[in-house]
Amino acid sequence: MTLTNHLCTGAVIAKLLPLPIAIPLAFASHFVIDSLPHFGFQELETTQQHWKLWKQVTFIDVTVAIVISIWLISAHHFLWLLVGFVAYSPDLVWVYRFILKEKFNKDQLPTKNNRLTEFHSSIQKYERVWGGLIELAYAAVMLIIVS
């Protein structure tokens, strides 16, 4: 799922549940919604073939997430934002690897999967272009709940 949807899911959890239980549930929510159909491509080669689309979706996603973050801060919901980042945090491993491989061409650095990363990767079974529609509907529901 997108950064926006993970962020909103965490914010909703923080809105509805007290701390500290909201934090592990937000982390766990990452894997639940990653197992739903969402935007993406199954294979790295397919992602590279549709690189322009992937970059456009990622740019829009990051922009929307920044706008939502500013909105949460301005509404004095900083804690919801932090729990939202906890919900997103498992994807930081992909960001780390992307930066190493794409920006610094560091293929020689170890990127071996641990058990969590193996599990995280294995649940991405329903990454499809049409999954973007599921993401839009999901984001709308989460934004309604969080607002």
Beta bridge partners of 39: 128
Binding to Zn ion in span 76-135, by CB under 5 A? 91
* Among 12, 13, 34, 135, contact with Zn ion (rule: CB under 5 A): 34
Of 16-24, 26-34, 48-56, 95-103, which part binds Zn ion (CB under 5 A)? 26-34
Torsion sign across C-alpha atoms 105, 107, 110, 115: positive
Q: Which is nearer to Zn ion, 38 or 81 (CB)?
A: 38
- Between vectors from CA 21 to CA 17 and to CA 126, what angle results, nearest 5°? 85
Q: CB of residue 2 vs Zn ion: minimum separation in angstroms? A: 10
User: Do 86 and 7 form a contact (C-beta atoms < 8 A)?
Assistant: no
Using CB under 5 A as the criterion, which residues of the chain lie in contact with Zn ion when the complex forms? 34, 91
